[in-house]
Structure formats: structure tokens, C-alpha cells
Amino acid sequence: MSKKLFYKMLAVLMLASFVLTACGSPAPAATEAPAKKVWTYADMTIGFLQTGSEGGWRAANTASFKESAEQLGINLKFYDSQNDLAKQVAGFQQFIADPEVDVIAISPLEAAGWEQVLKDAKAAGKPVILSDRRIDGNEDLYVTFVGADFVEEGRKAGTEMCKLLEGSASKNVWELVGNVGSSPAIDRGKGFRETAEKCGIVITNSQTGNWSIVEGKQVTEAWLKESKDVQGIFGQNDEMAFGAIEALKEAGLVPAVDVKIISVDATAGAFQAMLDGTLNITVECNPLIAPQVYEAALAALNGETLPKWIPSIEGVFYGDDPNLKEIAAGRKY
Ligand code: AHR
């Protein structure tokens, strides 16, 4: 076979394999990135750590989580921390270890001490949403906080107490505080002092009533045994204010008249007390925030970036409002 013919045939072969590669045989398949999962509520299992069941506000908040989970078709794992911090931390670790749980939401009993478990959740790839109460610490360790500006709630209460005590010779106010170390207790106290002290209000007693009617009453009774020189009571929630109202009545003082009373939450019980004329004002703290928490959880799973705070919408309600009855009738909690 002549050299010429050999090189011609070689050229033809090389041309043929080039054409085949370019057009014919399937090139080895490139490793396509698997399609990015788009989460839906039906896919999502959320582990929610509730504080406990300390009153009307908390009951409305829990119902908001359970009812809207059902409506949205979300698998909700609800953990009742029974107002015990150690139980709440243990529940958090349980959800980190639980393979079914995709995202964790928590209403922290106290503001401090969450750094380590938040780091563990991050290491486990589980987004964390703070619900209702904020924590002290690095906000990079959680996705967002859905809830109220408790400082602003306190400021509102202080401003309203100034108006109620306008012209009063002395402005001694007693404060019933929420559970020690919790963000609402810390922040409402701070906000109240910020505005109340501007009009000369003096906080002559301040103690925790642990958000409860019973303790609110006991603490107020103890103060009344020492002195009746009080012109106002600031209950950091409705229940503690209800306890103070009972104590004042039993001490022969007229609540909302002899002693002005302002609470926070605006639950149905507060509207009834205002209609009864025993409570002057209630500053709203909205418990119906579960849909916003679920929305944030889903967005987090789908890799969306969220603002670090998603505020809840709140108002102030007055016992002397001519439309109080209608307003009360239209309330959801
Ligand atoms: O975190 C919100 C507070 O918790 C409410 O004001 C109080 O009623 C509840 O216990």
C-alpha cells in the first residue's frame, strides 16, 4: 500500500472520528446540578418551643400556631416548656437532633444564654426563627425575630400614665414585672421609665408577678400592707393587673379611680375590666403572629434573606372610649 494511499486513508479516518465526536456519539453527560428544591408548607416540619401556658395572651398565641399550622398544612411539633428554662433548652436540643424537624421556632423564656444551642442548630443546618420574644446575642445565629417592640409598649404605657396622673400632687407608681430575665420584662420596664420619668413619675415599688393574677395580687397586697400612697399601677401584662385590681378592692381602694391602672396585652379580659371600669388603659401586644413565623420559616428554607426583625402591628385601647363595647366585640382574642 503506497505511502500516499496510507496517509489519505489516515486523514479520512481522523476526519471521520472528528465528525463522529462533534455530531454523533453522545458526549459523556455533564453532571447537571440537581434541581433546587422549592419548599412548600406541606413539605415543612417546624419544631416550636412555646414558653408554657401562663395566661390569656399565651393561650391565644398557642392557638395561633396550632390553628394556622392546620390551615396551611404544616407539620407542627409543639413543645410546651412549662415555663421552665432547662426544659426549653432540652427541647431545643431535641429538635436539633430530630431528623424530621426542618426549622426551629422559639419563644425564649429568658433573653440570655442561647449562644451555644443556636450555634448547634446552625451547625446542623436548621434555621431558627425567634417568635414573640427576642434574645441577647449574635443575630447571625438566627434568621429573624417576629414580634413586638416591647420597649415601645413600655413607652406607650409611660406616656399614658403621665396623662392619667396629670395634675396629681404625687405620682407614685408601682410596677408588676413579668418573669425575670425575659425580654418583655426587661424592655417594657425600660420603655416605661423612659417616658414616665419625664413627667415626674416615681416608681416606688417594682417586683415580678410572673405574669400571673395570683402573684400580681399577692405582691400588691404586700405593698398595700406597707403603704397606700400609690397613684398608679403599671402591670406588664393584663393578668398581673387583674390581680392588683382585686387587691385594691379588698383594701378599700377604687381601682382605675383612686389608683390609675395600665396593663399590656389587650386580651379579652382587659376589655371586660375596662367595660367594668376597673382598668383605665391596655397597650396591645399581638399574639396572633404564627402566620408571619411560618412565612419566615418557609422563606428561610427557600434560601431567601429576611430582615432581622418582622414587627407585629399593635395599638392602645382606652376605657373611656365611647366605642369600647363595639371594639371589644370585634376582638379575636
Ligand atoms: O411575651 C409576651 C408576654 O408573655 C405577654 O405580654 C405576657 O402576657 C406573656 O406571658
Distance 58 CA to ligand 1 centre (A): 6
- CA-based nearest residue to 266, from 283, 289, 287: 283
pLDDT of residue 43: 95
| Distances, alpha carbon 88 to alpha carbons 81, 91, 138, 238, in Å | 5, 5, 19, 24
For 332, other C-beta atoms within 10 Å of its C-beta total 10
Which ligand 1 atom is at minimum distance from the Cα of 57? 8
Distance 200 CA to ligand 1 centre (A): 28
Spatial contact of 285 and 191, defined as CB atoms under 8 Å apart: no
Query: Could you list the pLDDT tens digit for every one of the 333 residues in the chain?
Result: 677 777 777 777 767 676 656 555 555 556 777 788 899 999 999 999 999 999 999 999 999 999 999 999 999 999 999 999 999 999 999 999 999 999 999 999 999 999 999 999 999 999 999 999 999 989 999 999 999 999 999 999 999 999 999 999 999 999 999 999 999 999 999 999 999 999 999 999 999 999 999 999 999 999 999 999 999 999 999 999 999 999 999 999 999 999 999 999 999 999 999 999 999 999 999 999 999 999 999 999 999 999 999 999 899 999 999 999 999 999 999
Distance 81 CA to ligand 1 centre (A): 14
Distance 146 CA to ligand 1 centre (A): 14
Which ligand 1 atom is at minimum distance from the Cα of 133? 1
Q: For residue 292, what are the contacts with CB-CB under 8 A and spacing of at least 6? A: 146, 310, 312
pLDDT of residue 24: 55
Q: For residue 214, what are the contacts with CB-CB under 8 A and spacing of at least 6? A: 243
| Ligand 1, pocket residues at CB < 6 Å | 54-55, 57-58, 132-133, 184, 211, 237, 264-265, 285
End-to-end alpha carbon distance in the chain: 100
Q: For residue 260, what are the contacts with CB-CB under 8 A and spacing of at least 6? A: 161, 164, 165, 231, 232, 233, 280
How far apart CA 132 and CA 134 sit, in angstroms, is 7
Q: Name the closest-CA residue to atom 4, ligand 1.
A: 58
Distance 237 CA to ligand 1 centre (A): 6
Q: Name the closest-CA residue to atom 3, ligand 1.
A: 184
Distance 57 CA to ligand 1 centre (A): 6
Mutate to test the pocket of ligand 1, among 49, 50, 58, 283 (most ligand atoms within 8 A of CB): 58
For 225, other C-beta atoms within 10 Å of its C-beta total 9
Structure-block grid coordinates of residue 180: 425575670
Mutate to test the pocket of ligand 1, among 236, 237, 264 (most ligand atoms within 8 A of CB): 237
- CA-based nearest residue to 281, from 187, 158, 199: 158
Distance 184 CA to ligand 1 centre (A): 7
